[in-house]
Amino acid sequence: MNDAQRSDAELAKTIYNRYESTKNKMAHAAKKVGRDISQIQLIAASKVQNPESLRELIDAGHTVFGENRFQEGRAKIPLLPSLCVWHFIGGLQRNKVKDIVKLFEWIHSVDSQLLLDEVDKRAATIGKIQKILLEVNIADEASKHGASPYEVKNLVIHANQLANVEVNGLMTVAPFYDDLEEVRPFFKQLADLKKEVELETGSILPHLSMGMTHDFEIAIEEGATMVRVGTGLFGPRRAK
């Protein structure tokens, strides 16, 4: 196949095909390292996808979605069945926390004490305990959100003092490499950091949210419990 044929073939696949193939790849990666696939959740990263595309996944039995922007979530979430579970995976702005806490069961992108305090305050107002992950900028890239690995321990200690925040683990967006073996050390570092912080704080952090379309199999091999897959399920994202 040449490149044009390959991209036509890619576009012709249905969301259902891609979903089945993603689940197979997840199972294969888990098996390779002796992990139980039931410990690994697929989050469909549904930014820029319309509700009809999400419904195709729901029809196939998938109900867990990740959105990046509050405005988009606010428009989409009410149109879809209430059994869906929504994860906020995009950059978190303080002035949006109030609304995000109302809409999303999970927030993956808390990366400062200021944001922890804001989430706690807004969750308290509506009587909710907000599940969060701390986003870590594992490769120290200027373009990425996330706390530095050195800050994570203190953030966990701080979060543990807040009544309306439940810190459930760590999240990262790894650097992109064509050679997947180059990304592996970053996933390993996040997994090691989780263990280290658990020992230092006595907290249990059950989740590691890491891995996207390009690298989720490696992330699973290194301990991911949540993978966030967008194009691998919905096909190439077209500019809006």
Identify which of residues 169 and 232 has a Cβ nearer to ligand PLP in the complex: 232
Alpha carbon distance 151, 110 (integer Å): 12
116 touching ligand PLP, by CB under 6 A: no
CB 96 to ligand PLP: min, Å: 15
Question: What DSSP character marks residue 214?
Answer: T
Residue written as tokens 């992990």? 35
213 touching ligand PLP, by CB under 6 A: yes
103 touching ligand PLP, by CB under 6 A: no
Identify which of residues 44 and 162 has a Cβ nearer to ligand PLP in the complex: 44
**Site map for ligand PLP, 156-175, x if CB under 6 A?**
-----------------x--
Identify which of residues 89 and 220 has a Cβ nearer to ligand PLP in the complex: 89
Alpha carbon distance 165, 167 (integer Å): 6
228 touching ligand PLP, by CB under 6 A: yes
Identify which of residues 76 and 162 has a Cβ nearer to ligand PLP in the complex: 76
Helix, strand, coil shares, percent, the chain, to 5: 50, 15, 35
208 touching ligand PLP, by CB under 6 A: no
Identify which of residues 45 and 84 has a Cβ nearer to ligand PLP in the complex: 45
- Are 58 and 85 in contact by the 8 Å Cβ rule? The answer is no
Alpha carbon distance 50, 27 (integer Å): 28
47 touching ligand PLP, by CB under 6 A: yes
In a 3-state reduction of DSSP, which class is residue 71? helix
Segment interacting with ligand PLP (CB under 6 A) among 97-105, 122-130, 162-170, 212-220: 212-220
In a 3-state reduction of DSSP, which class is residue 41? strand
CB 230 to ligand PLP: min, Å: 3
Identify which of residues 51 and 91 has a Cβ nearer to ligand PLP in the complex: 91
Nearest residue to ligand PLP, by Cβ distance, number only: 230
Alpha carbon distance 210, 218 (integer Å): 9
Choose among 167, 211, 156, 170: nearest CA to 35.
Answer: 211
Q: What residues contact residue 61 under an 8 Å CB cut-off, 6+ apart?
A: none
Residues in contact with ligand PLP by CB under 6 A are 45, 47, 68, 89-90, 173, 212-214, 228-232
